[in-house]
Structure 1
């Protein structure tokens, strides 16, 4: 007995769009996981801010992966002599840059215990080398031939 199938174009396109959104969502989760694994960690705030968002524009599903934090861009692209301007970081309104030290600092006091804290001063710093953790994550998940990176502008 023959079967008769009727497919409605609108429903087919809706189904394809839904499938595309699901696939992009899966890819987005994978990219976020790889990016978080490669992201440098100090406090963990940048790593935890990496997210993805999928939108449907016409018949095209678009995936956006990134972080809303400005420091994520600095970590990704580098700063100072390693960044886009290739210049060391120098103070703008002071004679020196001032950085807190994370551990003990200074000579041993009379009581025999060290005090935490202190500061380091510098006339300039080199900056940090780039760590393209987002691009690397995209290339890991999608392969190097399938990735085109376009920087976003504000």
Structure 2
């Protein structure tokens, strides 16, 4: 059987880009159990309420929902268990320093398979206020209207 190549997205957190200003992104591996991998390969996961935290020099992904594998037995995993993130030591130290600064948090953006290995893209993000959300929505709408006008003029 040939090895898997490329990137297959399992889940995305669209809400994160709406609720946060994304400062920087990092790619991290995940420590998973066998039934979690099988459930992810079926394309089942939710990042909506998830976040990452740093404890004792390790990174942890909390509140990510990977549903139980339907064909699993008594060895099935808990759906919302805490999962360890695999990052380099220097990346963890850099993230720890920036999150201690204040106002910044670690949010998962997407969960995917890259060359057969499960990866998660986490972002160093700062929360948006309500007026920021309205402003970014208005900018997006203005860009959409400009693109529509350009298309009509080019016809």
Do both share a fold (TM > 0.5)? no
Q: Flag the structure with higher helix content.
A: 1
| Higher RCO (C-alpha under 8 Å, 6+ residues apart) | 2
Q: Normalized against structure 1, the TM-score is what?
A: 0.21
